[in-house]
Amino acid sequence: MRWEKAMLVYNSKAGKEKAGQLGAAVEALAGEIGELTLVQTQNPGDGETVCRERGGEFDLVLLLGGDGTVHECINGAAEADRVPDIAILPGGTCNDFARTLRLPLQVGRAAEEVLEGRLLDTDVGTVNGRIFTNFVGIGLITDTSENIDSDQKERMGKLSYFLSTLRTLRQAEPFRFRLTHDEGVVDSEAVMILAANGRSLGTAKLPFPGDGVHDGQLDVLIVREAGLSLAWQVINGGDLTDYRESGGVIEYIRTSSLRIETDEPKRIDADGEIYLETPADISVLTSRMRFFYGPESAGIAGGLIGGAAAKADAPER
């Protein structure tokens, strides 16, 4: 038996395929788990509460859902008495952090990869005391999230994010900001600021160096109004070196921490969830949590933990 006790948290409202996904996950994992507890969340905050209050009881916590479910549950698990190992079973629309972990995007296959034991200490970020796994942004990126039509998202999936971006681009307005980072201060105007820990945004692969979640750094893009079209190309898989020829309309910074102040409070998008405002104090929590990775991650960062064998000797955190 690989794990004595595990908890699987899933969002009852996250799509019509949930019952089939849940069945696929249980079928793949049941033979290796002594006692499997299923928790169906009903309301916002349920996942965070159960992971904070009960996460320490389990060797393994599995999160079945999208980036919102992951964001909520990670904020609970990080505060548990003993931080459990985390396995993400991607059941959302974009599944951006699952992409960073190089997991298969089919729930059954992702569950099978958990059995391979590719467990790795992983950086997460914090913004105003809240954990994020993938990114924090203000300006255009927040407006795009807020402009997504929920019915359209249900019908069209990730295409709804593309349509929302097109609508938002036409309405983008610059804002004044002051950004303090490890090596200096930027005092200027922008239409968007993005600080990324992960390597995927809206299913697009971000063109930053390395894998992002093992370097103790955040990759920061400051996009000024004239740089919108170039930023769109970069974020959707373009060459990041293009920013060097942009005449300053895009600025790229790597830093372990930053503070963003704005003339007027701006809403913050953290992993697609919008409930914070500037000023924003953002930093990396190096190797803060342990996640299971997909098959393309073998040897990544030289730090894969040997699955169940390593679990027995792992210190409580």
Angle at 131 between CA 113 and CA 85, to 5 degrees: 30
Q: Kindly list the catalytic residues.
A: 273
- The predicted pLDDT at position 312 comes to 36
**Cα→Cα distances 19→66, 70, 107, 166, Å:** 15, 18, 11, 33
Say how far apart CA 145 and CA 149 lie, in whole Å.
9
Any idea which fold 132-284 has?
Answer: Tumour Suppressor Smad4 (2.60.200)
- Domain ranges in the chain are 3-124+287-313, 132-284
Whole-model pTM: value is 0.85
Say how far apart CA 109 and CA 236 lie, in whole Å.
26
**Cα→Cα distances 201→8, 195, 238, Å:** 25, 11, 13
Q: Rg for the chain (alpha carbons), in Å?
A: 19
**Cα→Cα distances 218→16, 135, 166, 214, Å:** 35, 9, 26, 10
Series of mean pLDDT values for 10-residue runs along the chain (317 residues):
94 67 92 96 95 97 95 97 96 91 95 94 98 95 64 43 48 89 96 93 84 94 74 60 62 96 96 96 97 79 47 41
* CATH architecture of residue range(s) 3-124+287-313: 3-Layer(aba) Sandwich (3.40)
H/E stretch holding 38: strand 33-41
- The predicted pLDDT at position 161 comes to 47
Say how far apart CA 80 and CA 98 lie, in whole Å.
22
